[in-house]
Amino acid sequence: MSRVVEKFLKYVKFDTKSDEESTTVPSTSKQLILAEELGKELKEMGMQDVSVDGNGYVMATLPGNIGKNTPVIGFVAHMDTSPDFSGENVNPKIVKNYDGTDIVLNEEQNIALRIAESPELKDYIGQDIITTDGTTLLGADDKAGIAEIMTAMEYLTVHPEIKHGDIRIGFTPDEEIGRGADHFDVAKFNANLAYTVDGGVIGELEYENFNAAGAKVILKGRNYHPGYSKDKMINSALVANEFMAMLPANETPATTEGYEGFYHLLAINGGVEETSLSYIIRDFDAEKFKARKAFMEDVANKLNEKYGEGAVNIEIKEQYRNMKEKVEPEKYIVDIAFKAMEAVGVKPLVRPIRGGTDGSRLSFMGLPTPNLFTGGHNFHGRFEYISIQSMEKAVEVVVKIAELYSEREK
């Protein structure tokens, strides 16, 4: 078994699910358990300046082995898994020499990873695939990234013939709930540039992402006895239904792709007296993003005109912005990653992230940070899987990037 697989299978056993409702940092204390373990491993492999702070941020340095004054590069991944699905008692399965048929994940519960729903599986015929057992997510987002970075650093420590400058490593909590960069100390990290290893299919190289906001909509109703409520009752759940119906039906995650933005309903809670809706708003284009936020506020205003002031309250909070604005002026960062992929036999796929990474925020904090692939698919659910060969290539890409920067002056 390769080292990256060993590490990955170890890390996914840590339940690090983050919690959007929590006000602590990190949002769940169990993330600190993995943070401490990673700190311990980094020290054991000889990394320097290893730190694990009280907020769960892990940092370390692999000192350069050349005299040249080269850029300090960083590699970043996140420890938490999505709150959308259970990450407890993850029981990975390895399918060797995949034959191109449906993969039974859980015979008892009749759960299968089917070609009809995941046609890209056919790209991995003959490869080895790690899947879930159908009852949890896998955690490749982003424990695959952690395993790949750790394996690459371990490889560089035992292969001093590979020349490189100083390399900084950072592992963050709470990325899945948009807080991964909240307490990231960019000055302490002290890198000139970085890469998140948090992408999907092999070859992904991303330096554009959504502009993102979260919207909380609170709808107030008036409750009366249902037998005597004519012209009196306002059912907040039905007003919520009106609100949802006023948003474009063809602008949701299920109906958009590429550079198309969307409104995404995450949750509905409530009854007659009060109902809450939780949305995320996404768009690549800054002006369209601004228009989306204004449109939601306009919908709220129209319903307030109909039902009375205060019937609908909306709070929109920006989460992150499109990193392209900060990365494109330093395009050589992307070019070097492109060159590294080609050098190890990976076809680069430069395309926008239909989501965000810690790099989205870090880029606006003075650390331009595009995103590299991990090799995973179907993140955040029971059908998540990853190719072992893709993980091994990700390790090679990280090593090659480090080597290529040794040829560049700061």
pLDDT category at 356 given cuts 50, 70, 90 is confident
Give the separation between CA 60 and CA 288, rounded to whole angstroms.
40
- HSE toward the beta carbon, residue 187, CA cutoff 13 A: 0
Per-residue pLDDT tens over the stretch 277-320: 999 999 999 999 999 999 999 999 999 999 999 999 999 999 88
Q: How many residues does the chain have?
A: 410
Per-residue pLDDT tens over the stretch 23-38: 999 999 999 999 999 9
Q: How do beta strands 93-95 and 73-78 pair?
A: unpaired
pLDDT of the residue at 410: 79
CA distances from 140 to 135, 170, 337, 385 (A): 15, 17, 21, 7
Q: Where are the domains of the chain?
A: 3-209+322-405, 211-320
Q: Which two tokens stand for residue 318?
A: 């920006």
Please tell me which residue, 136 or 410, carries the higher pLDDT value.
136
In this predicted structure, the answer to whether residue 1 has a pLDDT above a threshold of 90 is no
Nearest to 35 by CA among 72, 9, 60, 62: 60
pLDDT of the residue at 74: 98
pLDDT category at 357 given cuts 50, 70, 90 is confident
What one-character DSSP code corresponds to residue 60?
E
In this predicted structure, the answer to whether residue 235 has a pLDDT above a threshold of 90 is yes
pLDDT category at 68 given cuts 50, 70, 90 is confident
pLDDT of the residue at 218: 98
CATH of 211-320, one of 3.30.70.360, 3.40.50.620, 3.40.50.2300, 1.10.3300.10: 3.30.70.360
pLDDT category at 238 given cuts 50, 70, 90 is very high
Secondary structure string (H, E, C) spanning 255-287: HCCCCCCEEEEEEEEECCCEEEEEEEEEECCHH
pLDDT of the residue at 192: 97
* Per-chain mean pLDDT for the chain: 96
Mean pLDDT of 183-200: 97
Judge if 3-209+322-405 and 211-320 fold alike in CATH terms: no
pLDDT category at 245 given cuts 50, 70, 90 is very high
pLDDT of the residue at 132: 98
Query: Is 166 a known active-site residue?
Result: no
- CATH no. for 3-209+322-405: 3.40.630.10
Give the separation between CA 395 and CA 344, rounded to whole angstroms.
10
Q: Which two tokens stand for residue 61?
A: 């340095």
Handedness of CA 33, 35, 36, 40 (dihedral sign): positive
pLDDT of the residue at 22: 96
User: In percent, how much of the chain has pLDDT > 90?
Assistant: 95
Mean pLDDT of 347-370: 94
- Given a contact cutoff of 8 angstroms between Cβ atoms, the answer to whether 157 and 62 are in contact is yes
Lowest mean pLDDT among 62-71, 252-261, 265-274, 383-392: 62-71
Query: Is 175 a known active-site residue?
Result: yes
Per-residue pLDDT tens over the stretch 115-150: 999 999 999 999 999 999 999 999 999 999 999 999
pLDDT of the residue at 409: 82
User: In percent, how much of the chain has pLDDT > 70?
Assistant: 100
Q: Which one of 174, 175, 384, 392 is the catalytic residue?
A: 175
pLDDT of the residue at 375: 98
